[in-house]
């Protein structure tokens, strides 16, 4: 538990640091994108070589902008467009896509708890979480394996051993992404949510995937934890606060009209 508290505090200070830097860089990059765009247009006919240079600058600056956007998503999140969602439905809608993403050597299974409550979440960001976790699982199973998605309704009552130091008693929707891949040792587990932490080769990973996942889960007041053993595989567990959806009345009540006849 002490370890988890230290981990959470480390992520908080990293978030503060990153958010300041990312904000300033975002402005710098916007200027570079804008001026290189002007440069490209001004040289298109007259100076093809310079046009090409400007194209390179533009391309790199846009790459940088995408990275900064991911960093900001980690540090302070992006605006949410939340709605009441059933995670089972969200996953089912993406199963074909995930199958294609994982390829034929990975067996994908989905164990859905039918008694799942709703969550109040941004569907696009939830999809991003799912995709990032599945891409990592795929990379961890280069020789093939099993990826299992599990959902479960979890009630944490007061006095229960908390799963995470920051978890308060309540009703949660649990989503687990389990793989039978290479797993992670303690030193990787301690750092895996940090932005730019990667064990992949240069060009293979940016180290931003899990930082983005962390940011999104945190923004949804959720909790993420990982269990892993080298050689056996990894399980990512995501707890989202469950909500009772507010049902909007579909038909307005008819006003009572008095039809008094004199
Ligand atoms: P990237 O995938 O670009 O390296 P991530 O932030 O997504 O960045 O992951 C950081 C690191 O965490 C990975 O480089 C890898 O070492 C480790 N990791 C993440 N998911 C898994 C997994 N399912 N199995 C094994 N290692 C993983």
Q: Which two tokens stand for residue 198?
A: 């990667």
- Report which ligand 1 atom has the smallest distance to the Cα of 132: 7
- Give the pLDDT confidence score for residue 223 in this predicted structure: 94
Indicate the DSSP class of residue 203. T
At residue 190, φ and ψ (nearest 5 deg) are: -70, -20
- Report which ligand 1 atom has the smallest distance to the Cα of 193: 6
- Report which ligand 1 atom has the smallest distance to the Cα of 204: 3
Give the Å distance between the CA of 184 and the centre of ligand 1. Answer: 9
In the chain, DSSP assigns E strands to 83-85, 106-111, 118-121, 145-156, 170-179, 223-229, 233-243
- Report which ligand 1 atom has the smallest distance to the Cα of 205: 3
pTM to 2 decimal places: 0.87
79, HSE (Cβ side, Cα atoms, 13 Å)? 1
Confidence of residue 254 (pLDDT cuts 50, 70, 90): low
Mean of the pLDDT values across residues 96-109?
96
Q: Which residues line ligand 1 (CB under 6 A)?
A: 136-137, 140, 179, 181-184, 188, 192, 197-200, 205-211, 234
Confidence of residue 168 (pLDDT cuts 50, 70, 90): confident
- Report which ligand 1 atom has the smallest distance to the Cα of 197: 10
Interstrand relation of 233-243 and 170-179 (parallel, antiparallel or unpaired):
antiparallel
The answer to whether residues 169 and 156 touch, using CB atoms and an 8 Å cutoff, is yes
Interstrand relation of 145-156 and 106-111 (parallel, antiparallel or unpaired):
parallel
Q: In the predicted model, is pLDDT for residue 259 greater than 60?
A: no
Mean pLDDT over the full length of the chain = 90
Share of the chain above pLDDT 90, in %: 72
Give the Å distance between the CA of 183 and the centre of ligand 1. Answer: 9
Confidence of residue 246 (pLDDT cuts 50, 70, 90): low
β partners of residue 225: 237
Q: Which two tokens stand for residue 78?
A: 């992006």
Give the Å distance between the CA of 25 and the centre of ligand 1. Answer: 25
Mean of the pLDDT values across residues 224-253?
84
At residue 119, φ and ψ (nearest 5 deg) are: -125, 160
- Report which ligand 1 atom has the smallest distance to the Cα of 206: 3
Pocket test for ligand 1, best of 129, 198, 212, 224 (most atoms within 8 A of CB): 198
Q: How far apart are CA 37 and CA 54, in angstroms?
A: 7
| Helices assigned H by DSSP within 76-122 | 87-102
Give the Å distance between the CA of 136 and the centre of ligand 1. Answer: 5
Pocket test for ligand 1, best of 102, 106, 128, 136 (most atoms within 8 A of CB): 136
Nearest alpha-carbon partner for 118 in 225, 220, 215, 213: 220
């Amino acid at each position: 538990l002490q370890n988890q508290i230290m981990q959470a505090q480390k992520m908080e200070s990293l978030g503060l640091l990153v958010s300041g830097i990312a904000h300033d860089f975002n402005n710098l990059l916007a200027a570079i994108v804008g001026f290189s765009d002007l440069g490209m247009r001004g040289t298109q006919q007259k100076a093809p070589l310079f046009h090409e240079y400007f194209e390179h600058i533009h391309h790199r600056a846009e790459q940088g902008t995408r990275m900064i956007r991911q960093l900001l998503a980690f540090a302070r999140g992006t605006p949410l467009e939340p709605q009441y969602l059933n995670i089972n439905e969200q996953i089912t809608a993406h199963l074909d896509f995930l199958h294609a993403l994982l390829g034929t050597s990975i067996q994908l299974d989905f164990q859905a708890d039918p008694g799942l409550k709703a969550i109040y979440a941004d569907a696009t960001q939830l999809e991003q979480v799912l995709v990032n976790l599945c891409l990592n699982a795929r990379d961890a199973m280069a020789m093939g394996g099993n990826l299992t998605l599990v959902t479960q309704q979890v009630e944490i009552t007061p006095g229960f051993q908390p799963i995470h130091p920051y978890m308060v008693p309540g009703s949660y929707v649990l989503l687990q992404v389990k793989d039978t891949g290479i797993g992670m040792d303690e030193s990787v587990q301690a750092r895996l949510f940090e932005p730019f932490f990667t064990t992949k080769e240069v060009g293979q990973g940016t180290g931003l995937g899990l930082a983005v996942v962390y940011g999104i889960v945190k923004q949804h007041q959720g909790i993420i934890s990982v269990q892993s053993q080298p050689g056996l595989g990894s399980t990512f567990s995501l707890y989202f606060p469950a909500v009772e959806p507010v049902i909007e009345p579909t038909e307005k009540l008819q006003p009572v009209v008095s039809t008094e006849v004199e």
